[in-house]
Structure 1
Amino acid sequence: MNLKQYTSEFKTNITIAFPVMLGQLGNVLVGFADNIMVGELGAPALAAVSLANSVFFILMGLGLGFSFAITPLIAESDSAKNYLDGKKNYQHGVVLLTIIGIVLAAVLLLIQPVLSLIDQPVEVVELALPYYQIIAYSMVPLLIFQAIKQFTDGLSQTKYAMIAILGANSINILLNYMLIYGKLGAPMLGINGAAYGTLVSRILMIFVLLYFIKKRKEFEPYNMAVSWFVIEKERVLKIVKLGYPAALQMFFEIGIFASGVLLAGMLGTQEQAANQIALNLSTMTFMIATGMGVTATIRVGNQKGLKDYSNLKRIAISTILLMIIIAIIAAISFMSLRTYLPWIYIDDREVVEIAAKLLIIAGLFQISDGIQVVVLGALRGLQDMIIPMWMVFISYWVIGFPVCYYLGILTDLGTFGIWIGLLVGLTVSSILLYIRFQHLTKRLLLSENK
C-alpha cells in the first residue's frame, strides 16, 4: 500500500473537519463546563443531570439521524451545480426537522414519569425532573439548527456553524455561572440554571447561522426565493427514506450509552456520577470523530456525484487512517491521565476512583469508535443507510447490551463491566461497517471499469 496516496489527503480532510470538530467540541466543552459547575453541587446533582440527559439524548438521536440525510443531498446537488435542487432540499429539511423537533419535545414531556419508574436513586430523580422538563423544550431549536448546519456542511462551509456554536455556547457558560450559583444579580437555580442556559444557547445558534447564510457570498447561489409553504411530497419522502435509517442508527447508538447511564444508576449515585464523568470525557473524542465522519460524508458524496469511484475510495480510506492516528493519541491520553481527569469534575474520592477505572476502557474503545463513526459517514455519502442501521443494531443491542447487563449487574465488575460491554459493541460495529464499505466500493469500482 502506498501511504502517500492517502496521507496526501490529510490536509484537505483536516481543513473540512477542523471547524466541525471545533464546533462539536464547543458543544461538549459546554457540557464539560456544565458538569464541572454542577459537580460543585455534589454527586446527586451530577447524577441527576446525567439521568435527564440520557433520556433526552435517546430521542435527540432520532432527530439528528433525520438531519444527516440533508448533507449528502446538498453535497450531490452542489457538485452538479443544481442550486435550485439544493435550496429545495434545504427548505424541506428545515421544515421536516422543525416538525420532528416539536413531536420529540412533546414525547419527552409525556414520558417524564418514566424517570421515577426505572430503579434510579430517589434523590437523583427528584433533582432530575425539573431539569428534564426545561431541556425538553430545547429539542425544537436544537433540531432546527441541526438542519441548517447540515445544509452548510453539505456545501463544505463548516466554519460558520462552528462560529455559531462557539459563540452561543460562550453565552451558555455565562448563563450557567449566573443561574446555577446566583451570580451577577441572577436567581440561584441550581442545576435548573444549567437547563435554562442550554435552552437559550440553542435558540441563539439558529440566528447566528442564519445571519451568515444571508450575508456570506459562499451561500449566494442558494439565496433564491423559494416558498417555505410549498412542500413536495416526493422530496419529503426522499429525505425520510434516507434519514430514517440514520435516525434509527443514532437511536441505537445513543441508546446503548444511555442504557449504560441507567444501568449505572441501578448500582448507586456514586456509580452514576462516575459514569457521567467518563462519558463526558469520551464524548469529546467522539465529537472529533463526528467531524471526520462529516468530512467523509461530504467528500464521498462529492465523488459519488462526479462518479469518480477510485478517488472516492482513496479519500474515504485516508479519512479513516487520519481518524485512527487521532484515536491512538486520545487513547494514550485517557489511560495516562485517568487518575487526574476525574478530579476536575468532583471532589469525591469514591467517584474519582470508579471513573478512573472506566477511563481505561474509554481509552481502549477510541479506535473502534473512531473507525465506526467515519465509516458510517462514508456510507452516508454513498447514501447507503439500511444495512448499516441493522449492523449497528446487532452490534449494540444483540451483542453489546447483553454483555453490559451481565457484567455490570450480574457480576461484581459493576460499571467497569458495563463499559466492557460498550467496548465489545463498538468493536463489532466498526468491523461490520468496514466490511460493508469495502463490499460497496468494490462493486462501484467494477462498474467503473466496465
Structure 2
Amino acid sequence: MKQTHSLKQKIRQFLIILVPILVTQLALFGMNFFDTVMSGHAGPNDLAGVAIGSSLWSPIFTGLSGILLSLTPIVAQLIGAERKEQVPFKVIQGVYLALAIAVTVILGGALLLDPVLDGMNLDAQVRTIAHDYLIALTFGIVPLFVYTVLRCFMDALGQTRITMVITLLSLPINVGLNYLLIFGKFGFPRLGGVGAGYATAITYWCIAFISFLVITRVMPFAEYRVFGRWFGIALSAWKEQLKIGVPIGFSIFFETSIFAAVTLLMSEYDTATIAAHQAALNFASFLYMVPLSIAMALTIAVGFEIGARRGKDARQYSFLGIGIAVMMAIVCAVGLLVFKEQVAGLYTTDPTVFELTKQFLLYAIFFQLSDAIAAPIQGALRGYKDVNATFLVALISYWVLGLPIGYALAKFMALGAFGYWIGLISGLAFGAMFLLGRLLRIQRHHSSAVTTNQRH
C-alpha cells in the first residue's frame, strides 16, 4: 500500500489489492461449488445429503477460521514496526491455536453429529450421505485450519498473488478427485456425494503442503524461517489473537449459521425442495464471494489510511468499495435473471428439482443488493478496528429479526419454503441498514478526532 491523491489512483490501488483476493475466494468457494454441482449429477439424494452436510459444516468452519484471521493484522503491524524477528513466534502460535481448534471440532463432531442428524426429519439415504460426507471432511480439518494460518502470514506480507496461485492449483485437484470418487472412474469406487467429502479433505492436505513448501523455500517468506526453530505454547499470544479474532469469528458465524439454520428447518420438506434450496443457495453464496472479497480489500485499504491518520482517504475508499460492490451486484442480478435456467441446469437433471431451483434463484437476486452494502461495510469497519459492533448487528438482524420473520411467513402465511428466503432477505436488509449507520458514525468520530488533534 502507498498513499494515493486522486480517485483514479485509489481505484487502481484498490483493484490491485482486490483482484488476487477475489480470485482466491472464488477458487476456495469453487471447491464447495463443484462438490454440490457434481453431487447433484449423482442424484437428488446425494445433492440433498451434501446440502445438509455443508450447511452444518460451513458456519462452523467460517466462524472458527474468522478467529484465525486475526493473525494478518498482528503480523502486518510487526512488519510495519520493523520487529520482523517476532513474526515466526506469532505464526507458530497461530498454528498451535489452529491445531487446538481443529481437535476441538473433531471431538465435538464425534459427540454431536449423530444426535443432530437424528433430530432432523431426513430420508434414511439422505441422512446416511450427510453423515458420511461430514466424516470424510473430518480427515481434512487439521490441514485446512493450518493452511488458514499460513495464508494469513503470506497475505500479511502483501503477497496475495502467491495465495491466489496456491488456491488456483487446488481447484483442478479437487475437481479431478471429485470426478474419480463421486462417479467411480478409472477403477475408483463410486461414492456419490460422500466422495466429494474425501476429495475435499485430500485437497486440503495438498494446499497445506504446498503452502509449507512455499513458506520454507520461496522468498520473501523463507527469510523469516518460520519453521526454523522450536517455540513452546504461549497462552499470552493466543489471548492476543483471540481478542481480535473472536468478534470477527462471531460476526461471520452469526451470518453463515442463519443460512444453515434455514436449511435445517427446511428438512421437513421433501428431498426435491431441500436439493433445490441448496442449489440456489450455493450459487447465491458463490456470487457472495464478490462483496466478501471487496470487504477484505477494504479492511486493508481503510486500515492503512486510518493508521496514517488520513480519515478523508479512508472514507473515500469505503464508499469506493461499496459503489463497486453495488455495481457488481446489479450485473450479477441481471445475469441471474436472464440465465436462471442455465444456472439451474448446472446443478441437476431432475425435472422437479430443476423447476424449484429456478424459483429459488429469483429470490437469490435480492440477496445481491443487500450483500453488496452489508459486506463491504463490515470490511471497512474492521479497517477502523470496530469489530464488536459487526457481530452484534449480525446477531440482531439475522437471528432476532430475519429468522423469526422467515419462520412466520413459512408457517403461517402459506409461503412454505419460500417464506424462509424472504426472511433471509429481510435479515440481510436490516443488517445493511444498521451497518451503514454504524459506519457513518465511526467516520464522523474519526473526523472530529482528527480536527481536535489539529487544533491542539
Query: For the superposition of Structure 1 and Structure 2, which TM-score range results when normalised by the shorter chain?
Result: over 0.9
Q: 2:191 aligns with which of 186, 189, 192?
A: 189
Instruction: Establish whether residue 24 from structure 1 lines up as the match of residue 8 from structure 2.
Output: no
- Residue 361 of structure 1, CA deviation: 1.7
Q: Distance in 2 between matches of 1:413 and 1:171?
A: 41
Q: Letter of the 1:411 partner, please give it.
A: M
Query: What is the identity, as a one-letter code, of the residue corresponding to 1:58?
Result: P
User: Structure 1 residues 235 and 399 mapped into 2: Cα distance closer, same or farther (>3 Å)?
Assistant: same
Distance 1:278-1:6 versus aligned 2 partners, 3 A rule: farther
| Equivalences for residues 251-400 of structure 1 within 5 A | 251-400=253-402
Amino acid at match of 1:262: L
TM-score normalized by the length of structure 1: 0.94
- RMSD of Structure 2 on Structure 1 (CA): 2.0
CA, structure 1 residues 225+130, in 2 after alignment: closer, same or farther (shift >3 Å)? closer
Kindly indicate whether the alpha-carbon contact (under 8 Å) linking 2:28 and 2:171 is maintained by their aligned counterparts in 1. yes
CA distance in 1, matches of 2:50, 2:248: 26
CA distance 1:225–1:344, shift in 2 (3 Å):
closer
AA paired with 2:326?
A: I
Distance in 2 separating the partners of 1:318 and 1:88: 36
Following superposition, the deviation at residue 430 of structure 1 comes to 1.4
Output one character per residue of 1:255-284: Cα deviation in whole Å (capped at 9) or x when no partner.
101012112222221111001111111111
In structure 2, what is the Cα distance between the partners aligned to 1:224 and 1:399? 45
Give the counterpart letter for 2:152 in structure 1.
Answer: Q
Preserved CA contact (<8 Å) 1:120 1:262? no
Q: Please name the residue that 1:62 is paired with.
A: 63
Cα distance in 2, alignment partners of residues 140 and 208 from structure 1: 15
Higher deviation after alignment, 286-295 or 200-209: 286-295
1:448 to 430, 439, 450: 450
Give 1:246 shift: 1.3
Question: How is 1:237-248 mapped onto 2 (pairs within 5 angstroms)?
Answer: 237-248=239-250
Q: For the Cα contact (< 8 Å) 2:216–2:226, is it kept in 1?
A: no
1:116 and 1:226, CA in 2 relative to 1: closer, same or farther beyond 3 A? same
Whether the 8 Å contact between 2:65 and 2:145 is mirrored in structure 1 is yes
Q: Report the Cα offset of residue 340 of structure 1.
A: 2.7
1:119 is paired with a residue of what secondary structure?
A: coil
In the alignment, the residues of structure 1 paired with residue 300 and residue 86 of structure 2 have an alpha-carbon distance, to the nearest angstrom, of 17
Q: Which amino acid aligns with 1:98?
A: L
Q: Taking every aligned residue pair, what percent have the same amino acid on both sides? A: 29
Indicate if the aligned counterparts of 1:75 and 1:301 stay in contact, CA closer than 8 A: no
Contact kept? 1:69, 1:239, Cα under 8 Å: yes
Q: Which amino acid letter does the alignment assign opposite residue 91 of structure 1?
A: I
Alignment-mate amino acid for residue 102 of structure 2: G
Distance 2:379 2:88 in 1: 22
Q: Distance in 2 between matches of 1:78 and 1:373?
A: 28
Instruction: Name the counterpart of 1:142.
Output: 144
CA positional deviation for 1:224: 6.1
Q: Distance in 2 between matches of 1:411 and 1:159?
A: 49
Paired AA for residue 43 in structure 1: P
Structure 1: 5+ residue stretches without partners: none
Residue in 2 aligned with 1:235? 237
Show the counterpart of 2:49: 48
Indicate conservation of the 8 Å contact 2:89/2:226, yes or no.
Answer: no
Deviation at 1:84, TM superposition (A): 3.1
Asked whether 1:128 is paired with 2:136, we answer no
Match of 2:404 in 1: 402
Q: Which residue of 1 aligns with 2:417?
A: 415
The amino acid of 2:113's aligned partner reads: Q
Q: What SS does structure 1 have at the residue aligned with 2:342?
A: coil
Residue 6 to residue 107, structure 1, CA distance change in 2 (3 Å): farther
What is the aligned length?
447
- The structural deviation recorded for 1:304 is 3.2
**1:7 Cα offset (Å):** 5.4
Question: Cα offset for 1:295?
Answer: 0.8
Rounded Cα–Cα distance in structure 1 between residues aligned with 2:241 and 2:394: 21
TM-score between both structures, scaled by the size of structure 2: 0.92
Distance 1:232 1:382 in 2: 28
